[in-house]
Structure 1
Amino acid sequence: MAADPHQSTSAMNYAFMSPDVYNVKFKETMHIISRVVQQCTEEQSNTPLPCNDYLQRASKYTGFDTKMLAKYANSDDPHVILKYQEADRNIIYQELSNFYLNKKIMPTTRQLFDALYEKIPVYIDIRNFRKLLVKMGYAWKEIVPYGLVIMEKPAVTYERYHYLKKIMEYRKEELPIFFVDLRCENGKKAGPLYFLYAVSKCSIQAIDTYEFNQDLNFEKWVEKSLLPIIPPNSVIVMHNAYYNNEQIRKVPTINSYKQDMIEWLEYNNIPCSRSLSKTELYTLVEKYTNCNEKLYKSDVLIKNHGHKVLRIPKCIKEVAPTRLVSEAVTKTVLTKNPKIITTLLQDIPMDWLKKYDQFIAEQERIIFENDMKIDSIIDDLCETMKRFNTKADPDSDLPSCSDSE
């Protein structure tokens, strides 16, 4: 059965955990091993033991909070930790909004971490919570004399604003909207199976399946399967993903050849001279990069046929009806027979799709209005906190960009 459109996304259970979760747990395992070895080494020269309380000692070894360790120690289920899923950005966004709009303060790392203690995975301590915030597009702003507080990076906020404003306009104009996605499912007896599809409020169409070793060509699928079936002046919405991110003219990096930089500048009608040094050419590339929209092959193909393209920001990637498809497929016993997936998707009732589309539209409106409220008060919050008499606890262990990757 398909997911209830009014059920919160955090409450939905999935049959398959994303690879990111396994990566996080693997990194956490290695971090714990490293920490235990380090603490045992230090303990060799310490008599008596540095901590007599077993929870404090376990906390010293693992880096986990004593409250979390107590919960695990008192559980009869040896797999209690494995039941926790990856951290949900939406939960962090909601709690941060609560600090801004209701508590009227900008939180420190510790304040936000404590407020989210019961809502984030137990394998995340405050050190890794900081890294998680960086990955999710948050940063720290220094409020003198109060200290460092958390806020979303302006580029992330603007990307979300631009997307929500556009899709709300398209909905108001009643344009046909199709959400495109690529799913990968693992059958119990078969290997991975990829399938591309487009979902609207009326139906799921253009379903094509691919074996693991097949060469998936997104532009070919758009041209042969998607474009022939969608009405004129449609809106195609998709995630930023490896399969649809091939650029017509990729922006050079500092490591690119000089000739590649010249060709990029000439392609974008930016005056330059071949006598300029590589450093001077790259300075021009950096200066004008943000002034030129990335030209993706798939976007150009779709636009050339009279349609519009939107890309869902990573920060709200779940605000799309493709979640309904995910629910429908992962709760079904899969085999490697593509017809089963195709039939399953085509049989999702139209009223479910309409309800879910309404639910997504409502979520878009709520997030947009919430962002506007925060935007209207954020400057005043900064000024108010500058007048605080107290100072926040020091936050000296901030991660670098490389730490979060």
Structure 2
Amino acid sequence: MISKYKERQAAKEVVFQEKQQCLNAMSDFLDNLEDNQGLDEIKSAVETLRNLEKKSIIESQHKFLEEISSLTEVGITTLKKIKKEGSVNEGMWNTPGKKRPHKSTVSDLDSFDIDAIRNKINEFYVVRKEVPTLRALLEELRSSIGFSGCRETLRKILIDNGYEFKKNKNERAVLVERYDIAAWRHRYLREISAKRMEGKPIIYLDETYIHKNYKPKMSWQGPSTSGAPQPSPLEHISPGKRYIIVHAGSEAGFVPNALLVFSTKSRLADYHHDMNAENFNKWLKEKLIPNLHEPSVIVMDNASYHTVQQNKLPTTQTRKAEIQEWLNSNGIIYEDCLSKAELLCLVQKHKPDPLYVADELLKQHGHEVLRLPPYHCDLNPIELIWSSAKRMVAKKNINLPAKETEVLIKTSFGRITSEDWKKMTDHVIHVENNYKQRDKITEEELEKFIINVGDDDSTNTSDESLEVEFLDSDFEWDE
């Protein structure tokens, strides 16, 4: 199509030049004539013809582009860009890929932010006694966690995390979170307050990651500066080597010499796949425990490599003889005639509390372990420390070779002070107090609900009238 366009334009150009030569010859001839009446009008007419021809060829170019646009359904502006690219690149065009790298609107949400969204929704129901609309929730999240997405982005995030917009079950339903998670939080808040009162050091540990190409998304730029170089399209697909970071700290600062940084080339979205129980327990033995000089309370989440059981229960994959051996070792009486399925039922009936390898390792050295309740990253101040350290890395990570990235990470973490940690731990204590107040309100509201149901004159005593609706987010968790 472009070649046909060039051929037609070349033919029109030849005709245009011939007409221009004729008009020029007529103009020269008239200039040599003596000044006769009407000569000026003839010259003006010749000049008008010349201008009309020039305008005609320009209009013909635009008309041809319109014709191509109507046939191909491609905009005229796009066709002009294609034409310009061909002329600049000497007839060579770059075909756009069918799947271009697309950067999501909100790409920096971590588990801390997701938990903040979950807790904000609970706050609407319990504290404010409002139904959280997308518009109201969006305004709150923009002010509280700096959420930068639009309403549709927020809608997708809610759906991805188990929320649904659906009809309420009945007018008496009460919106509450899962009782086991609420109970876990109550125990945790009570125990950690008691440990603080005893004056025991509270050590928070966690893992995070950072990519080699981690850079600030925005910077001040001017006429003579272009800002920090951004990742290429290829880097958007593969952001480079990933560095896993393991550390621990308290209100006194990071635990000295406990930082662990190692690299991995994994492209999995969840960095937890790059950690395992062997690496974590080795870090406990070699990095954390030797640098804790007094009995401490260790706070950690429920990641899979934190919760490897020492006293594993028999499963359906276990041989019958091994199940019987487990029952004998635990002093559980059973009849020899029982089938494997019946033996497994006995195992479930008498299953002991789980003993975790990491917990037992820490207890051997005089330390206690507190487990964070699920979906409560906001109770761990190290999550806020990660953000501060990553900002330091991004600020200095400009055209650094890969071998210097690890050095930059360690240097950035070394700049986190005890004052920074004290500020974050004080913030978490404030969050704990908010939870206590909110939980108190929740319990009071539930008591009112129970009293109102008991005083109801309705004769309907079916289970449906006492139905309790759980949050749509209360699906099975697995950390």
TM range (shorter): 0.5 to 0.7
Please name the residue that 1:319 is paired with. 379
Deviation at 1:238, TM superposition (A): 0.9
Report how far residue 245 of structure 1 moved: 2.1
Deviations 1:233-288 (CA, angstroms, capped at 9, x unpaired): 21111111132222112234445443454444445444445542122122122223
Larger Cα-atom Rg: 2
* Equivalent position of 2:203 in the other structure: 178
How do 1:213-228 and structure 2 match up within 5 A?
217-228=279-290
**Cα RMSD between the aligned structures?**
3.9
Q: Is the 8 A contact 1:97 1:374 kept in 2?
A: no
Q: 1:209 to 1:366 in 2, by over 3 A?
A: same
Q: 1 CA distance for matches of 2:328 and 2:439?
A: 39
Distance 1:368 1:147, change over 3 A: closer
Question: Equivalent residue for 2:422?
Answer: 354
Matched, 1:82 2:105: yes
Partner SS, residue 356 of structure 1: helix
Query: Structure 1, unaligned stretches of length 5 or more?
Result: 1-78, 135-139
TM-score normalised to structure 1 length: 0.64
Say if 1:179 and 1:199, in contact at 8 Å, map to a contact too. Answer: yes
Secondary structure, counterpart of 2:261 in structure 1: strand
Normalized against structure 2, the TM-score is what?
Answer: 0.55
Whole-angstrom distance in 2 between the partners of 1:348 and 1:318: 19
**In 2: Cα distance, 1:399 partner to 1:371 partner:** 18
Match of 2:251 among 185, 194, 201: 201
* Percent identical residues: 25
Q: Aligned residue for 1:328? A: 388
Q: State the Cα distance separating 1:229 from its structure 2 match.
A: 0.9
Gaps of 5+ in 2: 1-101, 142-150, 214-238, 266-273, 459-464
C-alpha spacing 1:257/1:151, structure 2 compared with 1 (3 Å):
farther
1:300 has 2:360 as partner: yes
In the superposition, relative to structure 1, how do residues 184 and 272 fare at CA in structure 2: closer, same or farther (>3 Å)?
farther
Inter-CA distance 272–84: structure 2 relative to 1 (3 Å threshold): same
Q: Offset of 1:300 from its aligned partner?
A: 0.4
- Cα separation, partners in 2 of 1:367 and 1:341, compared to 1, 3 Å: same
CA distance in 1, matches of 2:157, 2:248: 40
Q: Runs of 4+ in structure 1 displaced over 6 angstroms?
A: 402-405
* Alignment match, 1:96: 122
Alignment partner, residue 242 of structure 2: 192
Q: Is the 8 A contact 2:378 2:428 kept in 1?
A: no
Return the offset for 1:130: 9.6
- Pairwise CA distance, 1:91: 3.8
Matches within 5 A, 1:25-174: 82-83=105-106, 88-103=114-129, 111-112=131-132, 116=137, 122-123=152-153, 125=155, 129=159, 132-133=162-163, 146=171, 148-174=173-199
Residue in structure 1 matched with residue 432 of structure 2 by the alignment: 364
> Structure 1 residues 208, 310: closer, same or farther in 2, change over 3 A?
same
Q: 1:376 deviation in Å?
A: 3.2
**Aligned partners of 2:138 and 2:406: how far apart in 1?**
42
- Note the C-alpha offset of 1:346: 2.2
Going by fraction, where is helix more abundant, 1 or 2? 2
Task: Provide closer, same or farther for how the CA distance between residues 129 and 83 of structure 1 changes in structure 2, counting only shifts above 3 A.
Answer: closer
Task: Give aligned pairs, total.
Answer: 306
How many Å separate the matches in 2 of 1:82 and 1:196?
Answer: 29
Corresponding residue of 1:54: none
